[in-house]
Amino acid sequence: MEWFTILFVLGLDALTKTLTSTLIPYGEEVIVIKDFFWLTSLKNTGAAWSILEGQQWFFIILASVASLVMGYFFMKSDQKQVWLRYALIFMFVGTLGNLIDRLTVGGVRDFLAFNIFGYHFPVFNVADMALNIGVGCMIVETILDERRKHA
């Protein structure tokens, strides 16, 4: 199931990035739900909110090292630590998906845009969602680990 998750999320990330960058002209928007959700086609050479924009090699090195570290901890993790293992899987896949973009197209292709209560969230992609799911799984693992220690 772990390998399926890795391949499925990586494939979904690549497919959605390719479709949106092919079907939606760069910088254009396709409204899905008026004033709430739209699709766009952008390339981000920085991090969220375009932080450190243009620092491609920094992000390539950081993502490469992070991927190796996550892979190491995954291999060392106990099979029973399901939340930890999936946290590492989702964070690895998200990091790898965006790393592949940086290496192949010179930046991360983002396409999902939301406006919630007047706040325009940074445009993101499936790899970014995977990273956030991984962080959520890590939080759950931390809470469960604390409960196990005090039980």
**3-state DSSP of 8-37:** HHHHHHHHHHHHHHHHCCCCCEEEEECCCE
Q: What is the pLDDT of residue 62?
A: 96
Lowest mean pLDDT among 32-36, 47-51, 54-58, 139-143: 47-51
More confident residue, 146 or 105: 105
Q: What is the pLDDT of residues 120-134, one digit of tens each?
A: 999 999 999 999 999
Split at pLDDT 50, 70, 90, the class of 150 is confident
Report whether pLDDT(72) > 90. Answer: yes
Q: What is the pLDDT of residue 48?
A: 77
Report whether pLDDT(8) > 80. Answer: yes
Domain boundaries, the chain: 2-149
Percentage of the chain surpassing pLDDT 70?
Answer: 100
Give the active site residues.
110, 128
All residues at 6 or more sequence positions from 17 whose CB lies less than 8 Å from its CB, including other chains: 101, 109, 111, 125, 126
The per-residue pLDDT of the chain, averaged, comes to 94
Q: Whole-angstrom Cα distance, residue 121 to residue 125?
A: 12
Report whether pLDDT(69) > 80. Answer: yes
What number of helices (H) and strands (E) belong to the chain? Answer: 4, 4
Report whether pLDDT(12) > 80. Answer: yes
Q: What is the pLDDT of residue 42?
A: 96
